[in-house]
Structure 1
């Protein structure tokens, strides 16, 4: 065999080998990518009905529909998807909008990816309100708006949140603590309201003025945190205490038992511990959650949280201000922030309210 023929055969063999290796490499790359995709957790979107998704803007015909348990009105798009939910007696509304991710890597691996934007209407909802001018004006302004909503406000107080100041130089947002230590150096003081965090006197609608306490500056207990978000920031009316004035009461128990908003899950069973709800499917993002946690407080609800919806692991999660983390968190220290399963908070969950 001549040298030329031998060279040609070797070249041909080399080319075939290279092509085979390239083909195998491409095949393995595709397989590895597919394997990685299969392992990746699926993102669950929070909707009024888990079977309905709001995957794209809807420009077709919209319809209004009345639903029960609780009594509410939903706005549906041309494909039947829920675009907004309005509950009788509540000012809280959920509007579909751009997808957002809420996370707190310092304290949990939980992530909430949601299209729900939680906002306060100027008046409580009632059947037929979609025809009233106040609502038409409000809806036109806020549907599709990316202005800070209740969720965005809530995460402006978690660990590492940047400080924000008003025109007078007063910090109104930024990393908050739960409260200072008690004299024992172990437990933390409660009853830290939004005006303590702000460090300024606050006059309520009934004329009562409350003074901040210097040692509680930048502190928000669980109910103070909700009052900061819904009241001081979103402008829901606030009481000076559980009994003085009108609006959202001062404590978790006061909120749970008040007539403001609409009870979505009522307190049930014998006092003082009551019973855990059997059905939590009626909840929607933005609801207030109440927990019975301490035998020393009699029949009082001891903790309040903001329901965020379903995280990417499929769990129903919340954010609240807690002693273990010393401030607002959706984290796992002291118990995962979940109301499903049999974890610490899940077992102590008792009722829910939609403001």
Structure 2
């Protein structure tokens, strides 16, 4: 539990616990959806198409873009972008119903979003790599009437005073998380996802790990990312130190930034400088910062959420000033394009 309790008042986004499932209350966008959002609900029936690959390519146009290499999925009827897939990444941004994220206990920021971040069964390559399984998955994401919890909604389930939720295995897997971190070389003095969950975990590279009672219900910055992208959405997790690229998330923020198989979105001209161009960022990207004495040493990580009402590029992370996951900050700004964190941003990647 948090050591400093704060009240989370949610405006237009209510997280309600129903039989262990979190439901996000959405804005009613009206019968035609929100102009420019790309979302207008399900399209016509699959009847008349031989398979989902044919239906996808007939109802939608796949447009190739660069910097980074990606594919925009556009609805042929109105050319609205309904999904963006990045070559080499599993993260997919899908246009969905509008929603709003707020955290008034730490920030006046309001994030209005129609971006829903999904993790695909495999990394995307290009249109020629489209198969029936991937086409079926993509159509399901694009046309969902009631979209399930995505990466961004899951990230909100650990903010101040978020209600507890228990999964089918009896594990309390959501709820207000505290911050557990002591700066060290291997970060084992910090709280990983299994410490928060209070369960042992068997890693493919290092075997069984036991949770520490010192960190129960706590998450350090990289443990928070591993809980969301790994435990919740299936990205493989590694525990032993790494010095080469791995198909998953290593333990530390610096190892993630350097060795997680991903697409580089932004980086400074040197390891000690901030990126100058963040225009390619999209919600769900991982952001990395140098917050200690060495300006080239990455020590903090988070998830980019999108722009707030003032145009600030806001991210969520687990940090000490709020004693846990937050996209505000009682001592700072919480954006990546200016201020304290903007000056210390070093790298942006897309899983």
TM over 0.5: same fold? yes
Asked if 2 retains the 8 angstrom alpha-carbon contact of 1:158 and 1:175, the reply is yes
Cα distance change on mapping 1:83 and 1:127 into 2, 3 Å: same
Aligned to 1:338: 335
Query: 1:316 is matched with which residue: 308, 313, 328?
Result: 313
Cα distance in 2 for partners of 1:137, 1:57 equals 16
69-78 vs 258-267, which moves further = 258-267
User: How far did 1:331 drift?
Assistant: 0.8
Runs of 4+ in 1 over 6 A off after TM superposition: none
Aligned-partner SS, 2:343: helix
Superposed counterparts of 1:54-203, under 5 Å: 54=38, 56-57=40-41, 59=43, 61-77=59-75, 78-128=77-127, 131-145=130-144, 146-179=147-180, 191-203=190-202
Q: Structure 1 regions of 5+ residues with no counterpart?
A: 1-50, 183-187
Cα distance in 1 for partners of 2:260, 2:228 equals 19
TM-score (norm 1): 0.78
Aligned to 1:265: 266
Cα distance change on mapping 1:211 and 1:125 into 2, 3 Å: same
Cα distance in 2 for partners of 1:309, 1:113 equals 8
Cα distance in 1 for partners of 2:305, 2:247 equals 27
Question: What CA deviation, in whole Å up to 9, does each residue of 1:283-323 have, x standing for no partner?
Answer: 00100011111115x74211111000111222111110001
Asked if 2 retains the 8 angstrom alpha-carbon contact of 1:190 and 1:221, the reply is no
TM-score (norm 2): 0.78
Aligned-partner SS, 1:139: helix
Asked if 1 retains the 8 angstrom alpha-carbon contact of 2:190 and 2:215, the reply is no
72-81 vs 277-286, which moves further = 72-81
Aligned-partner SS, 2:71: strand
Asked if 1 retains the 8 angstrom alpha-carbon contact of 2:321 and 2:329, the reply is no
User: How far did 1:259 drift?
Assistant: 4.4
- Compare the two structures and name the one with the higher helix fraction: 1
Cα distance change on mapping 1:129 and 1:149 into 2, 3 Å: farther
Q: Structure 2 regions of 5+ residues with no counterpart?
A: 1-34, 45-58
Cα distance change on mapping 1:177 and 1:129 into 2, 3 Å: farther
> What is the total number of aligned residue pairs between the two structures?
297
298-307 vs 214-223, which moves further = 298-307
User: How far did 1:207 drift?
Assistant: 5.8
Cα distance in 1 for partners of 2:192, 2:181 equals 13
Aligned-partner SS, 1:295: coil
RMSD: 2.6
Asked if 2 retains the 8 angstrom alpha-carbon contact of 1:289 and 1:351, the reply is yes
Aligned to 1:45: none
Q: Which has the larger radius of gyration?
A: 1
